[in-house]
Amino acid sequence: MSSQIGRNIRVQVFGESHGPSIGVVIDGLPAGLAIDDKAIADQMARRAPGQSAQVTQRREADSPQFLSGLYRGHTTGSPLCAVIANTDTRSKDYAALTDLPRPSHADYNAAVKYGGYADMRGGGHFSGRLTAPLVLAGAICAGALRQRGIDVGAHLIQVGEVMAPALDPVAVTREDLDRLRQAPLGMADEAARQRVEDLLDDLRRQGDSVGGLVECAAIGLPQGLGEPMAAGVENRLSAALFTIPGLRGLAFGAGFAACAMRGSAHNDPYTLVDGRVQPASNHAGGVLGGITTGLPLISHTAFKPTPSIARPQASVRLSSLSPESLTISGRHDPCIAIRAVPVVEAVTAIVCLDLLFDKGGTYAT
């Protein structure tokens, strides 16, 4: 398995959903970086289950225990390792699934690839549970970014057919991102959030689920980060974001809407701001030729509906190769995109910090 992202800041996650613990090793952090326990706890709480009636009621404290790389509240320069205990598992909910794979899960694929040896309880290493250590790593990287005037924030702009306003791709501020981080369900628009809550209540009663779209912005990035062609900003961020389970689509700036635009509308004309050249609009999403433009780095990530639903679904019993109906029990989100918001934010922060360490980057301890 390859569960590592980053070139300069290398983040390796480990563990399984129903194992004793999950965790992360972060290699490449400079010595002397202050670790903000409260900021980490706040970010972990945004991702954690059991926060509202609209997400799974599995309850995990998600309090990390640092095993190495941290001394007196600062990084030491050696690999930082942290573990998060799994304390609220119900493995019996998954006992039959080794023989009856769930649709739209990795159950069958993993059984074929690993010969039945993978621990697939709760989804095993493929589970969204493994995003907790990603959020931990992202919170640490976000702290380093903020010290250099760079901030990252994400929010939901679509759940099913319910839409919420997008960020201003040019003028988004740190105050805007702070407001998003406080928003219930990751959605700052109150009217849209109420419609989403009603939708999720209906889906829970129906035993069904829905997908969603997450918008993320990184502001304050300097011009000139990224190395074309294969090491461009979009390349590296895309590879990292696709480690998040359930992600099915990714776009930057205007994204797929650019297909219907004229060049005269999509092009970002240059202007002078305080004697500095920068684009006047941001259809490019803050990246041209794989290199940052200095405007906000804007991405949109699409998440599929939660595949674990209470409705009967068709499957195949592997031991007898016979068709069989499957009804999934357990505790599951009607929309995984809600808890994906801080994960997208975290992964983006990891990649942004990683980019600053490239040759010609601006990171300095």
Known binder of ligand: residue 228? Answer: no
Known binder of ligand: residue 14? Answer: no
Biggest CA-to-CA distance, the chain: 72
Is omega for the bond preceding 120 within 30 degrees of 0, making it cis? no
Beta bridge mates, 155: 215
Known binder of ligand: residue 283? Answer: no
Q: Break the chain down into helix, strand, coil percent, rounded to 5.
A: 35, 25, 45
Q: Is 112 helix (H, G, I), strand (E, B) or coil?
A: helix
- Angle 87-4-127 from CA coordinates, rounded to 5°: 35
Q: Is 302 helix (H, G, I), strand (E, B) or coil?
A: strand
H helices of the chain, in order, are 37-47, 107-114, 131-146, 174-181, 190-206, 233-241, 263-266, 337-356
Known binder of ligand: residue 331? Answer: yes
Known binder of ligand: residue 131? Answer: no
Residue 123 and residue 130 in contact, taking contact as beta carbons nearer than 8 Å: no
Q: Which two tokens stand for residue 84?
A: 């998060």
Task: Spell out the residues 6+ positions from residue 144 whose beta carbon is closer than 8 angstroms to its own.
Answer: 29, 33, 353
Is omega for the bond preceding 229 within 30 degrees of 0, making it cis? yes
Known binder of ligand: residue 322? Answer: no
C-alpha span between 105 and 156 (Å, rounded): 23
- Please count the residues of the chain: 365
CA distances from 354 to 75, 165, 289 (A): 16, 30, 18
Known binder of ligand: residue 103? Answer: no
Beta bridge mates, 270: 279
Known binder of ligand: residue 238? Answer: no
Known binder of ligand: residue 126? Answer: yes
- Binding positions: 47, 125-127, 289, 304-308, 331
- Binding positions for NADP(+): 47
- Binding positions for FMN: 125-127, 289, 304-308, 331
